[in-house]
Amino acid sequence: MTARPPETATGPIGRHGGAERAEPAPPQGRNPLERREARLAWGLLLPTVTAVALVVILPLLAIFWISVKPVGLADLRPPEPVVSEDLRGRPEAVGDEATLRYRLRNSSPDQPVANVVLTDLLPEGLEIGALDPRCTLEELALRCELGDFAGGHRETLEIPVTIGQAFADAGMELPDSPPGLTGRSANVLTSGNFTFENFARIFDGGEFWGVLWVTLVYTVFGTIGALVFGLFAALLLDRSFRGQGVLRGLFLFPYVAPVIAVAFTWIILFDPFSGSANALLIQMGVTNEAINFFGQRPLALIMVILFEVWRYFPLSFLFILARMQSIDTDMYEAADMDGASPFQQFWYLSMPQLLGILSVLFLLRFIWTFNKFDDIFLLTGGNAGTRTLTVNVYEQAFAVSNIGAGAAVAVVIFGCLLAFSYFFFRFLSQEEGL
Amino acid sequence: MSMIRHGYVAGPLIGLFWALVVATSVAVAFSFATGGAYRPGGLFAALLGAGLGALAVTSPRLAGPAGLCLGAALSITPLSPVVTGAEVSGWAALLAGGAAGAATGWPVAAMMAGCPAGALTRHEFEHAVIRFLTGFGYVFFTAIVLIPFYVMVMTSLKNQSELIRNPLDFSVDLSKGWDLFRSYSELFGQFGFGGYLWTSFLVSVLTVIITLLFAVPGAYAVARLRFTGRAAISRSILLIYMVPMIVLALPIYIAFSMAGLRNSIFGIVLIYPVTTIPVALYMLQGYFRGLPAEIEEAGLMDGLSRLKVIWTITLPLSMPAMASVSLYVFMIAWNEFLLAFMLLDDPSKFTLTRGIASLNSSEIPRQHLMAGSVIATVPIMALFLGLERFMTRGLTAGSVKG
């Protein structure tokens, strides 16, 4: 969009024509004004670009990083040493013997923790007996260097004590100061430990191709359905009559309502035991026994596609209606004069005009449907043959607790997305001049 | 095929199909309203419709009254267009039959208006078909949109045993008075939905404000200012708009876990605007492009700085767009489920959608779940119906140019 001055106009011929009529030289390069404008533009964009980079670009890079790491849900909490402290021996009076006990363990069953150090401030009025050789005591400060804890390591540290007057006065209770414990552990996320196992895992087993197939079926039919219904609804409302505004508002309800509310309503409506839809179908004699709409193999997929169509036809309807209302009515009058029938008018006049918006909508909706997660997750949880790629990310990461595999699926989704957007931009550039 | 383009064929055919549509709708409507057993009387409804269709072509004025009378009269014979179960009273059956007949007769007469009994021109025939399809479309779309919301509201007013006894019975017992709203009072009392409502509202409003603060300058820069990289930025906005949330949710979850931002409203307010900024930017820049640049240039000539121009000229001019973007962003934030679900575990900090998700367990009766859904749906619907014009215009004008 940078305004290039037409250089041909000041070419050799122009200069030849009138040397004395000094042609004003077109500005070359960027003048200060342009530079200032660009600086301002970047200044205005900077907050947005930073925020988006932080929350979109960085996580995307992180996804690529995690997808080649052997990391599970449990690894998010790095292994750490844990300690609990108590006083054993039930001392009752001054001079009683008791044992101060520290129970230590490694929180991770398989990861080691290095350089474990225990520090504690002992209460006053305790006479300390023999100390563990790893421990030192300076006045009341206890410090034990316990070395490395292997995965699942447990040990108990016992210090014999004799109760003194000050402790008995304080009520024979250990003070509420938890002992400090530090240790160094390797974090899988930042270590140099890489693996391709995540990808190998999701690609073999045959499950992946099933998931991909379901995703494609869901996306294609969901998109086309929403477009067709949207077109139909737009044709209905492309005329002015009383109540048109009300109907238009009504038709948008499914899109505006929170997805969680409508998804649960569908589940209850189609419940196999006490759902109204089943009761109605049985009463009308369509079926003899209750149908498990969201629990049977092909039916569940059909239902989630219907839900998608139901929820998103309003969006297509809105765009198509807006386009329809911008079509010149003169054209239809002329066609009427020429004797074109209503269907001919629709097919030969409206459709070509709507083709642009329809294809843009198709591409947009295709990508969004491909990315859809909430709907299927809420309706079936990805069961009964409705697991799409996005649901698979969640399944792998949180249900199977394998964050790495979830990230690998996310990388696959991102790859598909890049491919789609390539088509999208190629198409959109012609369509919209973007 | 040319046979069909005769009034005496097309009329009965359209009548037949329309009668089936009407009989089904009446049966469903009566079932849902009263819980009684109604079902469309397939063959008899079709026959009645065909008869009325023929009448509509020959004497259109008679079709409506004839439909009403015939439908009502047939409902006490076994030939009723709407078959009723044994426990349904005669009056209700009469009403259903009459309604079905009337809703067939008059519309069919209107559909066949201007069609002679003999050969039809292509125009006359297609107009009749289109009128039939339009009627069907209104009934169909209204039904599929309204039924789920009707079920949602009515279920929330019932109790578990009533629901299991007859899942079709949505009639409310008004004698129960305020007790009808027990689910709601329990949700607000014991489940803390008042707090969730407030949290959702707060989060959504903050999201709108932050989004606009970021998106307005950004959109203006992309729409108006010339700089290298403008095309790339313009495209990446769309691209980022398309990145699926679940892909980002995973690293965000990890980062928030490590930074201790999970379970905090602050974390949610931090992350929501970023998901809405690309949308807002895209919509706003479309609108800014449509504003005449001359007004701004005049302002510049008069010695205003760019920022002054944006503040005193562009922003006041784009109030409608700002309203629609705000509404849209509010809707996204209010309805957001995935991030709230993953990032919030502490019931004291739930948003509404997260609160509803927590109601989805076998121990909690499902009228509570529906009552929660109604609580989440009503505010956004009210807001949307009140400002529907903005919403429609903003969505379409900003995003995709025709």
> Which domains are present in chain B?
2-165 (no CATH), 185-399 (1.10.3720.10)
B130 contacts chain A (CB < 8 A): yes
Residue type, position B12, single letter: P
pLDDT digits (tens, 9 = 90+) for A122-169: 877 777 877 788 888 887 788 888 888 877 788 888 888 888 887 777
Tell me the angle at which helices B122-156 and A207-237 cross, rounded to the nearest 10 degrees.
Answer: 120
Q: Binning pLDDT at 50, 70 and 90, where does residue B392 land?
A: low
Token pair of B68 as six digits:
């009403």
Q: What is the mean pLDDT of residues B318-327?
A: 86
pLDDT the model gives residue A4: 44
Neighboring chain A residues of B168 at a CB cutoff of 8 Å: 276, 279-280, 283
Q: Looking at the complex, report in whole angstroms how far the Cα of residue B241 sits from the nearest Cα belonging to chain A.
A: 9
pLDDT the model gives residue A267: 92
Least CB–CB distance from B257: residue in A76, A264, A367: A76
Cα–Cα nearest to A389, from A369, A362, A364: A369
Residue A84 above 90 pLDDT? Answer: no
pLDDT digits (tens, 9 = 90+) for B108-164: 888 888 788 778 888 888 888 999 999 999 999 999 999 999 999 988 888 877 777
Q: Binning pLDDT at 50, 70 and 90, where does residue A21 land?
A: low
A53 contacts chain B (CB < 8 A): no
Q: Looking at the complex, report in whole angstroms how far the Cα of residue B178 sits from the nearest Cα belonging to chain A.
A: 23
Architecture of domain A79-185: Sandwich (2.60)
Tokens 């020959």 identify what position?
Answer: B58
A26 contacts chain B (CB < 8 A): no
Give B38's strand partners: B84
Residue A214 above 90 pLDDT? Answer: yes
Residue A26 above 80 pLDDT? Answer: no
Q: Binning pLDDT at 50, 70 and 90, where does residue B212 land?
A: very high
Write out B307-357 in H/E/C secondary structure: HHHHHHHHHHHCHHHHHHHHHHHHHHHHHCCHHHHHHCCCHHHCCHHHHHH
Least CB–CB distance from A45: residue in B233, B238, B370: B233
pLDDT the model gives residue A28: 65
> A268: exposed, middle or buried (C-beta count within 10 Å: 0-12, 13-18, 19+)?
buried
CATH class assigned to A206-401: mainly alpha
Whether residues B166 and A76 touch (CB distance < 8 A) is answered with no
Between A76 and B256, name the one with better pLDDT.
B256
Domain ranges of chain A: 79-185, 206-401
Q: What is the mean pLDDT of residues A258-287?
A: 88
Q: Describe chain A by its helix, strand, coil percentages, rounded to 5.
A: 55, 15, 30
Supply the mean pLDDT for chain B: 85
B226 contacts chain A (CB < 8 A): yes
User: What span, in angstroms and rounded, lies between the C-alpha atoms of A91 and A98?
Assistant: 6
Where would I find the H helices in A5-142? 12-17, 32-52, 58-67
User: What span, in angstroms and rounded, lies between the C-alpha atoms of A378 and B158?
Assistant: 23
pLDDT the model gives residue A7: 41
Q: Using alpha carbons, list the distances in angstroms from residue A95 to A127, A137, B349.
A: 9, 21, 51
Q: For the ranges A423-432, B146-155, B217-226, which has the lowest average pLDDT?
A: A423-432
pLDDT digits (tens, 9 = 90+) for B10-53: 888 888 899 889 888 988 888 888 878 888 888 888 888 888 88
> CB of B30 within 8 A of CB of B82?
yes
pLDDT the model gives residue B233: 84
Where would I find the H helices in A238-341? 244-251, 253-256, 259-269, 276-283, 297-325, 329-337
Where would I find the H helices in B176-264? 182-189, 193-224, 230-241, 245-259
Which residues lie closer than 8 Å to B156 by C-beta, 6 or more apart? B183, B184, B367, B368, B370, B371, B373, B374
Whether residues A374 and B222 touch (CB distance < 8 A) is answered with no
Would you call B198 helix, strand, or coil by DSSP? helix
Consecutive H or E run containing A142: strand A141-149
Least CB–CB distance from B244: residue in A233, A275, A413: A413
Q: What is the mean pLDDT of residues B157-176?
A: 78
Supply the mean pLDDT for chain A: 82
User: What span, in angstroms and rounded, lies between the C-alpha atoms of B98 and B105?
Assistant: 10
Most confident of A170-179, B81-90, B302-311: B302-311
User: What span, in angstroms and rounded, lies between the C-alpha atoms of B224 and B232?
Assistant: 15
Neighboring chain B residues of A257 at a CB cutoff of 8 Å: 149, 335, 377, 380-381
pLDDT the model gives residue A254: 93
A279 contacts chain B (CB < 8 A): yes
> CB of B101 within 8 A of CB of B76?
no
Residue A288 above 70 pLDDT? Answer: yes
Q: What ipTM was reported for this prediction?
A: 0.90
Which residues lie closer than 8 Å to B130 by C-beta, 6 or more apart? A342, A343
Chain B residue with Cα closest to A72: B254
Q: Using alpha carbons, list the distances in angstroms from residue A35 to A32, A206, B227, B235, B311.
A: 5, 56, 8, 22, 22
User: What span, in angstroms and rounded, lies between the C-alpha atoms of B96 and B22?
Assistant: 11
User: What span, in angstroms and rounded, lies between the C-alpha atoms of B21 and B24?
Assistant: 5
Least CB–CB distance from B152: residue in A251, A265, A390: A265
B258 contacts chain A (CB < 8 A): yes
Residue B399 above 50 pLDDT? Answer: no
Give A144's strand partners: A118, A135
Between A432 and B293, name the one with better pLDDT.
B293
